[in-house]
Amino acid sequence: MGSTRRATEVDPDAAARAVRVEQRSRQLLDAAARLMEREGSQAVSMQAVADEAGVSVGLIYRYFGGKDELLLAVIVDVLDTFASRIPAALEAAEADPVHRLAAAFRAYCEVIDEHRHAAVLTYRESKSLGVEGREKIKDLEIKTSEPLRTLLRQGIDAGTVVDVDVDLVAYNMLLLAHGWALKHWHFERSLGLDQYVREQTALILRGLVEPRRSRDYRSLLDPVAPEF
């Protein structure tokens, strides 16, 4: 079966197959993520994912090695969404690093709000993730938070941001964004996402912005901290 072309050419069969594999993976990943958000990660059994995707259990195993691999893929998928959404948000924002920082944080929080349960999965036992998965996630987080670090450095260079530990601040912003998912049941009645983002932004910026430049960013914090 299949074609027997020269190796220098791209095998069109292989290409078509790759496309189908891609589509199926997408379908399964989306189903798993949807299920997870809708029913909580407790309800994610292979059968449930299959049902949600409208395929058979067996098929999942043709695309993912097993449950752990599937779950890891879902996490990676979410982190990929981060990696693509943040830059998009930055383009829409003003050129100023601090404004962009705020936009990036908001984008983080919004993606997390959409993938609350999947985001929390990142904190799963490293055992079930495996060394490989752990490394992959670490890399992705670093890569995804790269824009933050870049912006922080730009701000510091521009003199609008005080001289902080760029790595740690980036990490903290991530954690605070995740905080929305982690402590969601803590806040769900008292705080909306928008309010959460605004207040956290105010707090973060207060620690970052050079005191003598702070009045430049008042608009960013309205209406939460107009007195800033």
Partner DNA sequence: TATGAATGAGCCTTCATTCAT
Partner DNA sequence: AATGAATGAAGGCTCATTCAT
Site residues for its own copies per CB under 8 A: 39-43, 120, 123, 125-128, 134, 138, 141, 162-165, 168-169, 171-172, 175-176, 178-179, 182-183, 185-186, 199-200, 202-204, 206-208, 211, 227
Q: How far apart are CA 11 and CA 123, in angstroms?
A: 41
CB distance 57 to 96 below 8 Å:
no
Taking CB within 5 to 8 Å according to partner kind, which of DNA, its own copies, none is near residue 127?
A: its own copies
Shortest approach of DNA to residue 24 CB, angstroms?
5
x/- track of binding to DNA for residues 61-90 (CB under 7 A): xx---xxx----------------------
Of residues 60 and 111, the one with the C-beta less far from DNA: 60
Taking CB within 5 to 8 Å according to partner kind, which of its own copies, DNA, none is near residue 61?
A: DNA
14: closest CA among 27, 22, 2?
A: 2
Q: Which backbone phi and psi does 119 adopt, to 5 degrees?
A: -60, -40
Q: Does 24 bind DNA (CB under 7 A)?
A: yes
Q: Token match 């983080």: residue?
A: 108
Shortest approach of DNA to residue 184 CB, angstroms?
23
Of residues 39 and 194, the one with the C-beta less far from its own copies: 39
Among 58, 211, 223, 226, binds DNA (CB under 7 A): 58
State whether the Cα torsion 31-88-223-211 is positive or negative.
positive
Q: Does 224 bind DNA (CB under 7 A)?
A: no
CA distances from 169 to 1, 66, 82, 200 (A): 56, 36, 18, 13
> Looking at this protein, which amino acid is placed at residue 11?
D
The 10 Å CB-count burial string (b at 16+, else e) for 128-144 is ebeeebeebbeebbeeb
Q: Beta-carbon neighbour count of residue 55 at 10 Å?
A: 17
Of residues 65 and 207, the one with the C-beta less far from DNA: 65
CB distance 181 to 116 below 8 Å:
yes
3-state SS assignment for residue 164: coil
Q: Does 138 bind DNA (CB under 7 A)?
A: no
Taking CB within 5 to 8 Å according to partner kind, which of its own copies, DNA, none is near residue 166?
A: none
Of residues 17 and 153, the one with the C-beta less far from DNA: 17
Q: How far apart are CA 144 and CA 163, in angstroms?
A: 22
Taking CB within 5 to 8 Å according to partner kind, which of its own copies, DNA, none is near residue 183?
A: its own copies
Residues in contact with DNA by the rule CB under 7 A: 1, 17, 20-21, 24, 44-48, 55-59, 61-62, 66-68
